[in-house]
Amino acid sequence: MTAVDTVPLTAIAMAAKVRSGQATAVSLCQAALDRAEALGGEHSGFTRLLRKRALLRAASVDKLVEAGLDPGPLAGVPFGVADLFDVAGEITTAGSRTRLSASFASRDARAIVLLEAAGAVLIGTQNMDEFGYGFVTMNAHYGITRNPHDPARVAGGAAGGSAVAVATGTVPISLAFDTNGSLRVPAGLTGVIGLKPTYGDLPREGVYPFVESLDVVGALGRDLDDVALVRTVLREGAPERSDPPRGEIAFGRLMSWFDDNISEEMRGPLDAFWNRLGRISFELPHSEIARAAASVIIAAEGASLHRPALEADPMQFEPPVRDRMLAGLLLPADDYLAAQRFRSWIQARLRRQFELADVLFTPAAPGFAPTIADPVMTFEGKSIPARSHLGIYTQPISLMGLPALVLPLAGDFPMPLGIQLISAAGNEPLLFRAARQLIDKGLCAVPVPPAGAA
């Protein structure tokens, strides 16, 4: 990859400039909007720019600064959201043409309200796989989102537009969602930081659902402190569930399921990373069953949610999504309940796993982003569709409800490679501390936006 010379400003640095009067919110938002427009939808990740709303909002932030008031820790920071967050006065498409005639949202999603109350400015909505059902962000109606490090490759998905908007430096932060790896896979493939919080930790009000028992709201960014700040804002001062352990963090690499099907381009850098962390490994028993249970839950809940639309006109859905949902409609209730029962069982057992290691890690995805022309990957020796399988390492973690943070491995690779850090439920502060340590040691780093992308 060829890199540009400049590193985009972090959200925290942008807000500091706005609060001190060195920059205006309007100028920052104007620049972000212009950049997104210049890149175009396929390369910026945006599907819809909210220019009028954003500039009005940015002007109000500037007025507060002029009046000597503090607009908040994200003053004037432009951000985007995956197109399943409600935006007042807009249709929440969830990436589907089946919703083209849906009602306009009457209010903003809670997460948007909270970020804007902290001074941030929403500039637009971002592309995703239809209803979040896919790992490639190749949307038949809203277009393909291309990987900025190689436009011939996928961005990953389902929230690929949100990752690309950050990877290109168009905005410093995006809000997205994660059902089964939806933000972690594109974070890994485009070289940005992605937080998938503990299930239920961040507000989902006003976010179009997909799989109620797995969906979480998360954040993508280029800077660790930016992502941590977004989490803090979205939690509205809720107390942490546990204190992070002091002293040295014990890292452990997950093996078996998480060591199978790794591509050659990932294995070398991952082994080198592991060597630097002491080569401790652990098993996460029953991960394959967890992935199977997650797949059953997604198929059943997704199909149930969209049953009215499937009954009305199944041909309105993209064929891969339609066929997966129709199959989900045919699942016996007993299989769905067995999957949910397994979920409860493994969550209870997992609490003991973290007595052995503080932070576990896996690849975020098997290797480099697949090509758009032939979006496949190798699984158990066979070439299979990336659309349905790129999340093999993220899916079990979703079922377990655990928080995860994806970071890019540092190194001069042809394409980004991401690792997924995992902690016990509610232990996000430990994840951020671990990530800081890895960045400071030079083991992880967010690549600068490629030339032509910023």
Partner 1 sequence: MAQESGKAASSSAQRPTQDSVAARMAEAGIAAPENCTPGVLSNLIVLQDHVATLRAFALDPRSASAMRFEA
> Measured from the CB of residue 200, what is the shortest distance to partner 1 in angstroms?
6
423 CB contacts (<8 Å, ≥6 apart)? 354, 358, 359, 360, 402, 403, 404, 430, 431, 434
> Measured from the CB of residue 393, what is the shortest distance to partner 1 in angstroms?
17
Between 330 and 373, CB nearer to partner 1:
330
Between 87 and 290, CB nearer to partner 1:
290
> Measured from the CB of residue 325, what is the shortest distance to partner 1 in angstroms?
9
Between 107 and 241, CB nearer to partner 1:
241
> Measured from the CB of residue 383, what is the shortest distance to partner 1 in angstroms?
15
Between 62 and 301, CB nearer to partner 1:
301
> Measured from the CB of residue 203, what is the shortest distance to partner 1 in angstroms?
15
Which positions touch partner 1 (CB under 8 A)? 198-200, 212-213, 286, 288-289, 291-293, 295-296, 299, 310-311, 314-315, 319-320, 322-324, 326-331, 335, 337-342, 344-345, 347-348, 388, 400-402, 425-426
> Measured from the CB of residue 232, what is the shortest distance to partner 1 in angstroms?
20
> Measured from the CB of residue 330, what is the shortest distance to partner 1 in angstroms?
5
Task: Check: CB of residue 309 under 8 Å from CB of residue 98.
Answer: yes
Between 152 and 337, CB nearer to partner 1:
337
Between 16 and 329, CB nearer to partner 1:
329
Between 48 and 324, CB nearer to partner 1:
324
Between 184 and 291, CB nearer to partner 1:
291
> Measured from the CB of residue 348, what is the shortest distance to partner 1 in angstroms?
7
HSE-up (13 A, CA, CB side) for residue 352: 6
